[in-house]
Amino acid sequence: MTKLRSLFDGEPFQGRDLFAGPLPWLEPKRLLLMMVLAVFAVETLVMFTLHLIPGLPVVTEAVVDSCLLLLVLSPILYYFHYCPLQLHYRAGLQTTNRLLRSEERLRLVQGATNDGLWDWDIATESVYYNPRFAAMLGYRRDDLKPFLQTWRKLLHPEEKTQVLETLDEHLAGKNEHYRAEYRVKTAGGEWLWVLARGRVVSRDEAGGALRMVGTLTDISDRKRAEQALLARKQEVGQLSRQLMLRSEEEKRHLAQDLHDEFGQVLSAFQLGVEVLQKHRSPGGKGYQEQCNRLLGLVSRLERDIRHISRHLRPVMLDDLGLVPTLRSLAAELESQVPGLTVEFSIEEISGRLETDLEMVCYRICQEALHNCLKHSAASRVRITLRSGVEWVEMIVRDNGRGFEVRQQPERDSHWGMGLLGMRERAHAVAGSCDICSTPGGGTSVVCQVPARFVEEGLCRTSAS
């Protein structure tokens, strides 16, 4: 009787069924049978008792019979009829209150998130769209017919196939949740970006989907922000490329001026000193030594200017192209560093690349070789240049000490800024630059740029 006492103690029954659990005999059919048996038993007992008392008037027997029936049947009716009905009523009331609170929470959440709600009965192809769903698209609720075909007609042609494929995959059980971003047509004829999320909540015994519910979120503001960010990124990339091209153009002009103007002056000066040296004068030995010293200074100045000019902008790159310039760079580096072997390999390069692409490849190779000499202590370097259908790839690999790639170099270090500069140069021409290295296993710098050629021709595999 614990369940019955809880009614009078003021404790909530929490919606549990009276006839479930430890009191299965309090089922409605059994209660009715027990009530009939109880009335029959009580009436029989009363009549038997009155029969044992002879001489009672009829009125007295009727009053005694009624009182005894009332005293005996009242507790029976109370416990076996009134209490179960009261429990059922309270359980139903609690269930109703929970449903009302749940509906209120759902309404508040929908209002806070501003999302549309849809409920799809897959068997009948009918769909429930809540008022917010229709208002988001500029429709009235009655304008959207409760069918799946209504939603299909609103899909943008560019995303329709992908959206339906994603939905079919979820219905087949391949994905736990359904998620898709696409455009739908509004009542005004405009296209609105939305995010649809949902899940199958009911399946049959064979695993077929029976019911699916989900939400629809307006993400047009986010899409506009993403597009604006992408446009700004493209503008920054274009500006970076323009700055790089302007810088290289200035270097080219400066290198050309150094090569032409100063080179001619130094050549004329050197020629004049050589003429003076050939004409012997009373200066004797001291005069000759002075001429030799001047000629040495001129030769040194000429080498320095040539080196500065090549560092600023190699004239060979403009005149002969990337391959001869890299070959010359490899030969010069090998001659300057004792014990260093530089190999140069070309694989299927079709003609000359565009000017900015050649400059990017040259600068990245130059920076990679500089870092190799300064940090890796390598004895062998191999430069590989090869072309594919869409990309031209350049690899600079050494056998130096290497390092852990996960430990990114500091931005204020020379290596960190060099790597950052290489990547920025590659990104400026829609390319990429990656570094692969392991401690003790050497370092590889891999650069890829678009295969845009200005001259056709085929340079077969060669090595030096």
Domain locations along the chain: 2-110, 114-218, 320-464
pLDDT at 421 over 60: yes
From CA 139, how far away is CA 184, in angstroms rounded? 12
- The residue-averaged pLDDT of 181-203 equals 91
Same fold, 114-218 and 320-464: no
pLDDT of 393 higher than 80: yes
Q: What is the pLDDT of residue 88?
A: 74
CATH 3.50.50.100 fits 114-218, yes or no: no
Digit-coded pLDDT (tens) for 253-263: 666 666 665 66
**Which H/E stretch holds residue 251?**
helix 220-257
Task: Note if the pTM is more than 0.75.
Answer: no
| SS3 of residue 137 by DSSP | coil
Catalogue the E-assigned strands of 93-187. 116-121, 126-129, 178-185
**What pLDDT is attached to residue 375?**
81
- Residues 423 and 146: their CA atoms lie apart, in Å, by 54
Task: Give the model's confidence band at 99: pLDDT under 50 very low, under 70 low, under 90 confident, else very high.
Answer: confident
Nearest residue to 430 via CA among 356, 369, 375, 368 = 356
Residues 396 and 368: beta-carbon distance below 8 Å: yes
pLDDT at 335: 83
Average pLDDT over residues 106-128: 80
Distance CA(411)–CA(65), nearest Å, equals 106
pLDDT at 141 over 70: yes
Share of the chain above pLDDT 70, in %: 72
Question: Taking 90 as the threshold, does the pLDDT of residue 193 lie above it?
Answer: yes
- What does the pLDDT average to over 241-250? 69
Tokens 């009134």 appear where?
Answer: 82
Look at 86-90, 240-244, 275-279, 453-457 and tell me which has the smallest mean pLDDT: 453-457
Q: Which of 9-18, 24-33, 311-320 has the highest mean pLDDT?
A: 311-320
Report, as an integer, the average pLDDT of 131-156. 86
Average pLDDT for the chain: 77
* pLDDT at residue 43 in the model: 77
Reply yes or no on whether the pLDDT at 396 is more than 90. Answer: yes
Q: Which are the contacts of 361, defined by CB distance < 8 A and separation ≥ 6?
A: 322, 326, 353, 385, 392, 394, 447, 449
Q: Which fold has domain 320-464?
A: Heat Shock Protein 90 (3.30.565)
> What is the band of 125 on the pLDDT scale with cuts at 50, 70, 90?
confident
- pLDDT of 76 higher than 90: no
Lowest mean pLDDT among 24-28, 130-134, 209-213, 225-229: 24-28
Spatial distance between the Cα atoms of 365 and 359, rounded to a whole number of angstroms: 10
- Whether 14 has a pLDDT exceeding 50, the answer reads no
Residue 412, pLDDT score: 40
- Give the separation between CA 77 and CA 302, rounded to whole angstroms: 123
Find out whether 13 and 90 touch, Cβ atoms under 8 Å.
yes
Q: What is the pLDDT of residues 442-462, one digit of tens each?
A: 899 999 999 888 754 434 333
Q: Quick one: pLDDT at residue 461? A: 37
Which is more confident, 451 or 102?
Answer: 451
Q: Residue 464: its pLDDT value, please?
A: 38
- Which of 68-77, 90-99, 191-200 is predicted least confidently? 68-77
pLDDT over 80 at 161, yes or no = yes
pLDDT at 261: 59
